[in-house]
Every structure is written in C-alpha cells, then in structure tokens.
Amino acid sequence: MLPEIEAFQKWLRRKAPNASTQIHYPNDLDLFFAWLNKPIEDVKVQDIDRYIETCQQNRQAIATINRRLAALRAFYQFLEIEQETPPKNPVLPRRHFIRQGLRLPRDVQDGVVAKLFSVISSTRDRAMFILMLRCGLRVGEVRNLSLSDLYLDPSPGSLPRLWLNGKGSKERVAYLSHQPLAALRAWLAERPKVQCQAVFLNRFEERISVTGIQDRLAGYCLQAGIWITCHQLRHTFGRHLTEARVPVTSIQRLLGHAHLRTSEIYLHLSDKTVQTDYDAAMQAVCRTLEGIEEGGAA
C-alpha cells in the first residue's frame, strides 16, 4: 500500500471509526493504482475514462464502479488538505460518475430462505442471519453489536430491542419479535464468557469480521444449493413489512433510511392496492373478452 493511501486510511479511521469506508476505499485505491501503474501526481482525467471502460468490460456493477470513483475523488480531496502542492483531482463527477436508474431491492422468496435455515445448525449463525431477516440489520450492524447494546428485558408494555450503530454512524433502535429474541438468547447461553464485549465472536473469541459473516453465509448457500447475500435478507425484511401493510414512515425508521424515498422503493415489491387493482382489472378484461367471443360464436 502506498504511504499516501495509508495516511488516507488513518484519516478515514479517525473521521468515521465505525464506517466501512476505511476498509473499502483503500482497497479500491490499491486496485486502481495497481491497474494504472502510474505515480499519484500523474493521474489524468483520461486515465479515469479508461479505468471506467475497463470496469465495464469486466461487467462490474454500476454501484461498484461509482464507489471506486468516490474513493478516488475522496483520496485526492484528502491530498488537497494534506499537501502544499497537491495534484489535481482527476475525477470529475459530471463526466465520470455513472447514472443509475431506479433499482428495486432484490429480496428472496420465502421458500429459498427456508432452504437456507434448514442447513444452519450453529446457534451463533442462526442468530446473526435471523437478525438480518426479522429485524433488517445490515451485516456491519450485526458485526458491531456489543453486549451493552442489548435491551432484552424491557419494562412491561415495551418490546425487547437492540441499540444499533448504523450506516454513517447513525444510531437507531431495532425491535425484537419472538423469533429473533429466542435465537439471540440461545446464542448468548452458549457464548463464551470472555472479556470481548462483542455479541458475535469468531473462533479466536474476538469480534467476528464482516467478511467472516459473509463467508459463513456463502458456505451455507453452497450446502443448500442457493445463493443469498446478507443484504438480500434485509431486503426480504422490508418486503415482509410492506406485505403486512406497515406505514412507509415506520418502514423508514425500522430500516434506518435517511430518506423516505428510499423506503418507498419497497412498496414496488408488494403493493397490495396495486395487486388488487390489477387483479380486478384483469378479471373485468377476461369477462369482456369472453362476452365478445360468445357473441361472435353465436
């Protein structure tokens, strides 16, 4: 890793210690400079053009490409602060960032979810993935959970809850229904009594990493003959809320969305009103067509 990237990573860690950018951005920068093989100060706008074309040829997702561009732009902005004569920022937002249309969340069919949990015997892993499925936790939020964040025995009339450190270091509360509460209690009964305050531990009795959680899920998917990502479990939670006709403002708070329009996207997955209107319209169309066909036959 270049010393400038190491300094950038330390700055990210100081600025947002709980954010994943301190991991992803340096990795993105390492990939870029390994591909370009040029000094930092010699990177041109045209180099960014070629990099985008290479990423697209490799069929990388638009979100991934835009994140790598954001990492590069943030890196050069950091150099503007740190250096007396910094290089010019080669990333131009209007020229380089790729427009992304409205994309619906990719949830998972309930039958596929059942296949996943049929192969999970570990109480720790069941608790981790049930928290994603039934409470909408992000993988990073599961990883960051500490024992002090658990409120499992609330006062009468209140639900058990988790205190989460979410995306952008924003805190929120996640409530626990019977299934995630039972799964979490089962794991806590088995959890080693160690000094580490993390709820979920790895085999070294330390806080499990995001990669460790993702690898566990990938292994279970291989056993079950399916493919699910951690974030798809969260999307499935959003769909279940929509199917239960939960108000979109409550969905926003339960999922920890900064903007209501992000939560409204879930309405496209299972809008009961639209489904009812469509079904009624198609029945009317079919009756009309049947009448026309009968009249023609007569």
How far does CA 153 lie from the centroid of its chain? 29
Distance CA 134, CA 244 (A): 13
Task: Say if residues 29 and 38 touch (Cβ distance below 8 Å).
Answer: no
Whether 151 is catalytic is no
**Is 268 assigned a catalytic role?**
no
**Catalytic residue chosen out of the listed positions 143, 234, 235, 240:** 234
Catalytic residue among 68, 73, 124, 138: 138
Active-site hit among 13, 67, 161, 167: 167
Reading the block at residue 248, the tokens are 């979109």
Annotated catalytic residue: which of 25, 51, 220, 266? 266
User: Does the annotation count 266 as an active-site position?
Assistant: yes
Please say if 257 is a catalytic residue.
Answer: yes
Active site residue 170: no
Q: Write down the catalytic residue from 161, 172, 185, 231.
A: 231
Q: Is 259 a catalytic residue?
A: no
Task: Just list the catalytic residues.
Answer: 138, 167, 231, 234, 257, 266
